[in-house]
Chains A and B, each alone.
Chain A
């Protein structure tokens, strides 16, 4: 059980999302960085996809009203427990009365606080994710507020070791798989989408020029700024289903990347779609930062997915061993 002591706007309860209802117009929502959510839960021995707190505005402070294990993953937000600094991607145990603090990260955008047993709110349509647009899911369909009490699941998995333990962040462990551009820009791989060729020469510029993430970006989508691109002919599209990562180009010519809270359907011409294995990095991209798109194939995407799965499996194995050792000592 925890209580929110300080929070900015737009911090919410999220899990792996609510897929399966796009055919009735319901957005999947879910963590913007699902990898951070997954690792946080693994460190705690939580069920896969247990709900966590997604923090995207800082500082954020919570009070433990009961003893319980927690993990902080995602952006390095210089977390402290009762003033004592914690390493990034770290799991520890808190005593009643202790305060966990998260400060503005110097890089990346979103941090995830996982709690032993998972955030216990009533699932709506199979998920605990908050749908802000639909005003349902999570904590009453709204953002977290000071004074909110949040229950955790009754089943408390194995304790974490004294002093805590952590995972090597994916940006370090997988730096060859997720390279950074020459000028430090984010490199995002994507597959050409349905209207790619309609953009003629501008399509090449889409891939070659850098794009900046504008201030009008949030969990719904990122608006990119750069030299506008235009299709050679204007088409009035029939509305169709979309998924996060689709890159649409509205008439003004500056692309929009749809993210976790995006509409389930769209009608703007789409130039490309980000490979799923790069979406967690997109979820960590900051307003004002620069990115470049690189064309990829399904085979390349598959390779990156495999590297990610190996990384996650390694952490899962280690966490299991730690859990077993602790149980043996108890």
Chain B
């Protein structure tokens, strides 16, 4: 059952229904609704997700909102009687969401590229047809935005990875990837915050503490932050 817009949804005030602008809305269990923005994986789309988050934060039926990568998980306080009404409301709010920008901090992360933690650098070179030096250069020359936090405490999903070094997640995750590994997962990049199973591809290592559960603001990164990687060492 696809919950992609039902035919009964009233089209925007135009003659031709703007089907392209509709979000995909689906269920995860009874209280959670996942809204996925149509269109590209880019900053303008994410800005609309940030706007939608703001618009929903104070809603009385909403228990929790979890922004993802051009998508938003909305967890309600109670199982709704009529999920179609919720879908309708979310779709309306999405249509009205104008992009907002979040004034973030600038974060610089010192990285050792290559070396013992860069377990997937050779595979990325093979996939991309680039040399290890080129992969490293392309990665550290990029400017990234924190689109969302998630997966593990304080982990920031970074947008802005050059398409030349996109690399699909692994079919079989690494069982014990170290905290601090600088990784690529599809079109996203980030720094592992916990040691454990990880399906992303590691190309380097950064000595960083991204989370403190006892701090007033436990996570170092926040959506909207700008991140740059500074190559402290390159071991190829």
Contact = CB atoms under 8 A, between A and B. Distances in A.
Interface stretch (A39-47, A110-118, A272-280): A272-280
Interface string B22-41: 00101111111010100001
Given A25-B219, A238-B69, A273 B150 contact: no
Contacts of B211: 24-25, 134
B32 A243 contact: yes
Interface string A281-320: 0000000000000000011011001000000000000000
Contacts of B71: 238, 240-241
Contact of A263 (B1, B29, B67, B152): B152
A252 B170 CA distance: 11
B29 A275 contact: yes
Which among A240, A264, A298, A299 has the greatest number of chain B C-beta atoms within 10 A? Answer: A240
Contact of B171 (A20, A125, A252, A264): A252
Interface residues of B, number: 55
A173 to B, nearest CB: 21
Given A20-B64, A197-B2, A267 B186 contact: yes
A245 interface: yes
Nearest to A137: B213
Contacts of B28: 193-194, 242-243, 245-246, 270, 273
B29 A302 contact: no
6 contacts: A24-B149, A25-B149, A26-B218, A194-B3, A197-B1, A298-B82
Contacts, number: 170
A133 B196 contact: yes
A22 interface: yes
A302 B79 contact: yes
Which among A24, A194, A240, A267 has the greatest number of chain B C-beta atoms within 10 A? Answer: A24
Given A236-B168, A240-B66, A273-B32, 16 more contacts: A22-B75, A23-B149, A25-B149, A131-B213, A136-B213, A194-B36, A238-B36, A238-B68, A239-B151, A243-B73, A246-B28, A264-B66, A265-B68, A273-B27, A273-B30, A298-B81
A191 to B, nearest CB: 5
Interface string B56-98: 0000000111111111110100011111000000000000000
Given A239-B188, A241-B34, A263 B151 contact: yes
Given A23-B149, A25-B152, A264-B66, A298 B80 contact: yes
B214 interface: yes
Which 3 pairs of residues, A with B, have the shortest CB-CB distance?
A: A241-B66, A241-B73, A265-B150
Q: What interface size band does chain A fall in?
A: 35 or more
B154 A25 contact: yes
B135 interface: no
A245 B63 CA distance: 17
B183 to A, nearest CB: 12
Given A241-B34, A242-B73, A305-B79, A276 B168 contact: no
Contacts of B154: 24-25
Contacts of B171: 250-252
Contacts of A299: 81
A19 interface: yes
B29 A274 contact: yes
A196 B1 CA distance: 7
Which among A196, A241, A242, A263 has the greatest number of chain B C-beta atoms within 10 A? Answer: A241
